[in-house]
Every structure is written in C-alpha cells, then in structure tokens.
Amino acid sequence: MQASSTWKYAQKWKAPFFTIWTGQAFSLLGSQLVSFALIWWLTKTTGSATVLSMASLAGLLPQVILGPVVGTLVDRWNRRLVMIVADLVIALVTAGLAWLFWTDQVQVWHIYVLMAVRSIAGGFHWPAMLSSTSLMVPGEHFTRIQGLNQMLQGFMNILSAPLGALALEFLPVEGVLAIDVGTAMIAVLPLLFIPIPQPTRKPVVPGSRQGTFWFDFKEGFRFALSWPGLVIIGIMAIIVNLVISPGFSLLPIMVTEHFFGGAFELAWIEAAFGFGIILGGLLLSIWGGFKRRIVTSMVGMIGMGLAILLIGFVPSWAFYAAVVMLFFIGFFNPITNGPLFAAVQAAVRPDMQGRVFTLITSVASAMTPLGLIIAGPIADIFGVQIWFIIGGAVTIFMAILAFFIPAVMNFEKGRQEDRQPEAVAPPAVSEPVE
C-alpha cells in the first residue's frame, strides 16, 4: 500500500470496520441462539449432566488443542478469506443439523460433532478478526474497540437466553438453527465487498526453511517464549482460570443449595453479570483506560478478584448482595481483558498476531477442564463458596504481584525490534484498499 492510500484508509476506517463488525455481531447472536437451543434440547431429551459436560468439552477442546496450529495458518492465509470460509462452514454444518432435526434423524452425537466443527471454525474466525482489527483501526482506538467487543458480549449474555426461549416458543429447533444460517450469511456479505489489509510477511531467503508451515509454527513459540512479559502473563492466566472457573461452573448449585433459590434467582445472577459487562465495556470504549494499558488491566483484575472473593463470604440470607457482586465481576471483566488484548495488538507485529492470540487463549483455557474435574469433589467437602474465596484471593494476589514485575509492567513494549508504532495510519500492508 502506498502512503497516500494508507492515509486515505486511516481517515475512513470507521465505515468499513463497523460494517464488518456489525455483520459479525449478527453472527454471534445467531451462534448464541443455537447454543441455547441445543443445550435446552439436550437437557430435555437426556437430562444427563454427563451429556452436557461432553457437549461443553466438544465446544472447548478443539480450540485448546488446535489453537497454535490454527494461529499459524491464520498468519499464513488471507484473513478475509479465512473469515468467509469459517462462517460458511458454520452455516453449512448448522444447515445439516437442521435437516437432521427436520427429518427426525438427529442423535446426541450429531450435536457433539456440530459443536466440535463450530469450535474449530470459530477458532479460525476469532484470531483472523482480532488480528485484522489492528490493520483496520488506528492504534489509539484499540482499547476502545475492545471495550465495544466486551460490551457486545455482555448484551449477548443478557439477550441470548430470553431470545432463545422465545424462538423455541414459536419455532422448532431446526427453525432456530435456520436463523443462525441466516445470520452467518449476514456476516459473510460485507466481507465479499470490503477489502481487509494483509500484513507484509518477512522476505523468504532462497533455499532456507523460512516460509514453511513448521518454520512459522516454531517461530510463533520462539517469539512467545522470548517475550518474558507474555510468558508471565500466560502463567498468571493459567493459574487464575484454574481457580475461578470451578466457582462459576457451580453457580447453579450455589443458588439452589446456599441461597435456596431457583431459576428466577439464577436468571438474576446471569443478568447482573451481563449488565456489568455492558457497563464496563461502555466505560472502556468511552474512557480508553489509563495511558499504560497493562495498568488498566491489572486494576480491573483487582476489582474483579475482590468481587469474586466477597461472594464467598455472602451469607445465605443476603442473595442480592451476591447479585451485586456478580454485577461488579461483569463490570471489571472487560476492563481486565480489553486492554490486555489491545496491548497485544499494539505490541505484536501484524504477521505474528494470529499465532500469539491463539497461543494465549489455548494456554489460558488449558486448565479449565482440570478445574471443572476437581470442582465437584472439593465443593462437596468444603461447599461451593470455597472456590470463590480461593479464586478471588488468588486473582487479587496475581494482579498486585504483577505491579512488582518489570517484565509485566513493560509488557506493551514487546520485543523492541518487533514493536508496532502507535500511529494514526495502520502498518504497511500488501493489499491496497480503495
């Protein structure tokens, strides 16, 4: 891209970016409706906790296991094409499952397969979209865009369940699946007409192994391991996810056994969390955070950890105090995660972002299955609230400790030779945008 076209794109980035972003928002809503419909169908049809756990693992494990491989491919391929194909694959397998429901041939294992395929396709789509953002949006807006992304997720947390239930009142399951096919097409349509800049890859030395898949795959690990701040943050994410995921997986049990509530109380909990995410994301999108993104993230982490910790001490007669704490957990969630992703977008050169993002998420999610496995037995002995006490205390400790680790506080600088400048115009790209 020539300098003039880069400047032109920098001045007119909002229309193309938000057109694509809006299409992706519709696709996300369709995916949430499908998830609700399928989980509800499994619950009504089998009533088995094991079946629900298997469905959750089918949706989680592919991204955990294949993440680094997927990230390497995303960095090698055209990211716009990756997003188009991923959305089309999701639409195709969803349409296939809709046909099985319509012909009354569906089996539980069909849903496992669907969730696994959707997980793999989503594993391609998410890093492609996230790494494309840094090429479409000026650097000073990264944190605000992440705030909008978090706010969108909060809206989905609130809307997906009631909209899914409403859809199932008027439509069969295959009708809800058809909605997702339609929203996937809405996401694909703008991608067919709006170019997405591609990162300029390093020149390949003739006769060397550079440019091969395995070279790029290993380069991603070498890049991450040579960045002390990223390694430490990855370890922190592993520990935090290990100790907080069990508590949230056991929230329904805490509502019924500790607060003696039912579905209405659980809905209050989930709604409070969703509203918190919306307001936290809105604040982040307007404010943009502190000048140093990592400081914003760690402050949010302390706030989130404090709210998690306090839930563990809420007595059984103070249910609405727990609702307030869930609101604050949701509120601080985007303030924690948004600036962290924005810092990676700013610090990592564009042609490495797919690998770095998928590596972060794979590592961070790797301990979640272990946490879910050990959650039940420990909660049976000590009660569900012990997980919130442990999780909150560990989260606060990790965030405070980070302020005393120079590698974490200097995280945004990345590796000096790969640092992406915070400029108005996006980095140089290989595909002109007219």
Contact partners, residue 252, CB within 8 Å, separation at least 6: 266
Task: Give the residues across from 312 on adjacent strands.
Answer: none
Output the pLDDT for position 383: 75
Asked if pLDDT for residue 15 goes beyond 60, the answer is yes
Question: Do 82 and 70 meet the contact criterion of CB atoms below 8 Å apart?
Answer: no
With a pLDDT cut of 70, the percent of the chain lying above it is 85
Short-list 64, 46, 58, CA closest to 367: 64
Over residues 50-69, the pLDDT tens digits come to 676 677 778 777 877 777 78
pTM as predicted: 0.68
Our measurement of the distance from residue 364's CA atom to the centroid of its chain's CA atoms, rounded to an integer in Å, reads 11
Residue of 294 and 227 predicted with greater confidence: 294
Over residues 214-223, the pLDDT tens digits come to 777 777 778 7
What are the CB-based long-range contacts (under 8 Å, 24+) for 201-204?
Answer: 201/351, 201/430, 202/351
Output the pLDDT for position 307: 95
All structural domains of the chain: 1-200 (1.20.1250.20), 215-419 (1.20.1250.20)
Average pLDDT (188-192) is: 88
Which tokens go with 364?
Answer: 């961070």
With a pLDDT cut of 90, the percent of the chain lying above it is 13
Over residues 341-361, the pLDDT tens digits come to 788 777 777 777 777 777 777
Percent of the chain as helix, strand, coil, to the nearest 5: 80, 0, 20
Q: How many alpha carbons fall within 13 Å on the CB side of residue 206?
A: 0
Output the pLDDT for position 386: 86
Burial of 343 (0-12, 13-18, 19+ CB in 10 A): buried
Question: Do 164 and 176 meet the contact criterion of CB atoms below 8 Å apart?
Answer: yes
Burial of 149 (0-12, 13-18, 19+ CB in 10 A): buried
Residue of 148 and 311 predicted with greater confidence: 311
Asked if pLDDT for residue 328 goes beyond 80, the answer is yes
Average pLDDT (371-390) is: 76
Average pLDDT (364-371) is: 71
DSSP string, 225-259: HT-HHHHHHHHHHHHHHHHHHHHHHTHHHIIIIIS
Give the integer Cα–Cα distance in Å for 187 and 22: 8
Short-list 18, 27, 22, 16, CA closest to 185: 27
Give the integer Cα–Cα distance in Å for 257 and 261: 8
- 13 pLDDT tier (thresholds 50, 70, 90): confident
Asked if pLDDT for residue 381 goes beyond 50, the answer is yes
Asked if pLDDT for residue 426 goes beyond 60, the answer is no
Mark out the alpha helices in 257-384 (DSSP H runs): 263-287, 293-311, 319-347, 353-366, 368-382
Asked if pLDDT for residue 271 goes beyond 70, the answer is yes
Over residues 274-285, the pLDDT tens digits come to 889 888 888 888
Give the integer Cα–Cα distance in Å for 168 and 164: 6
Output the pLDDT for position 423: 41
Q: Which of 43-57, 103-117, 145-159, 378-392 is predicted with the least confidence, judged by mean pLDDT?
A: 43-57
Residue of 381 and 387 predicted with greater confidence: 387
Average pLDDT (72-95) is: 87
Average pLDDT (126-143) is: 77
Output the pLDDT for position 301: 94
Short-list 58, 125, 63, CA closest to 90: 125
Average pLDDT (3-8) is: 40
Which tokens go with 255?
Answer: 């509502």
Output the pLDDT for position 392: 93
